[in-house]
């Protein structure tokens, strides 16, 4: 993300199983992001200027509603994002709440009009690119009366149509290519801030038969894990 990333936030999210937090590809596969893993305030201000703010800072009257997770280490991340926004001139109102409340009462409720949710994440239910991109970014799947998972309310007709077409493509290679093109289009629209693609070590004792969750690759499934 633009701006400086405090060390506490970087350390808080250092883990090792891969979980997508809010973008479709790992940071390692985005060359432009490798230039500064800590963020770059000058680059952030450059884009603010391109958005019409000559000083590189937001000068409008709006206050951003920021809702995050109150538990560690997620709260550190939310506070870091909030401070980054303030450094760019935004007025913010930060509200840290319990994890499930964050989703069910705020970030997943369209009518609450939450501007920034630093701690939401999406895990694919199965190994297919549609499972990664469709629900969080398809405007046709925005849920207005219930829990919505398109937190950014991304709704680009062209991309929506491309997703509908890609969903019908048959064959792993062809599907991968179709959804990769959609991923590039989403990145070009800057619909999310790439944050983390964590790798978490999972350890099992020699007398334990560990079984990983199919829907959450790398995390132990205690319903099937057993003693040998």
Domain boundaries, given as residue ranges, for the chain: 7-227
Q: Which fold has domain 7-227?
A: Dipeptide-binding Protein; domain 3 (3.10.105)
State how far Cα 133 lies from the chain centre: 11
Mean pLDDT over each residue of the chain, to the nearest integer: 84
Contacts of 53 (CB under 8 A, 6+ apart): 59, 89
pLDDT in tens, 132-191: 999 999 999 999 988 999 999 999 999 999 999 999 999 999 999 999 999 999 999 988
pLDDT tens digits for 8-67? 444 433 333 333 444 434 333 444 444 555 678 899 999 999 999 999 999 999 999 999
The answer to whether 225 touches 205, Cβ cutoff 8 Å, is no
Determine the average pLDDT of the residues in 86-112: 97
């Amino acid at each position: 993300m633009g701006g400086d990333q405090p060390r506490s936030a970087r350390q808080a999210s250092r883990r090792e199983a891969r979980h997508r937090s809010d973008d479709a590809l790992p940071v390692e596969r985005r060359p432009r992001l490798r230039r500064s893993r800590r963020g770059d305030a000058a680059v952030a201000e450059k884009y603010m200027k391109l958005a019409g703010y000559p000083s590189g800072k937001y000068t409008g009257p709006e206050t951003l509603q920021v809702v995050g997770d109150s538990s560690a280490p997620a709260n550190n991340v939310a506070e870091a994002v909030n401070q980054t926004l303030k450094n760019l001139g935004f007025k913010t109102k930060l509200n840290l709440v319990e994890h499930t409340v964050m989703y069910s009462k705020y970030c997943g409720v369209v009518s609450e009009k939450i501007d920034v949710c630093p701690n939401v994440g999406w895990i694919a239910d199965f190994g297919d690119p549609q499972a990664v991109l469709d629900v969080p970014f398809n405007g046709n799947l925005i849920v207005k009366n219930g829990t919505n998972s398109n937190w950014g309310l991304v709704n680009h007709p062209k991309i929506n149509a491309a997703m509908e077409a890609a969903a019908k493509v048959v064959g792993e290679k062809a599907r991968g290519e179709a959804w990769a093109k959609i991923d590039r289009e989403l990145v070009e629209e800057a619909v999310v801030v790439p944050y983390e693609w964590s790798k978490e070590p999972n350890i099992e004792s020699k007398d334990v038969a560990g079984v990983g969750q199919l829907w959450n690759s790398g995390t132990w499934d205690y319903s099937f894990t057993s003693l040998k």
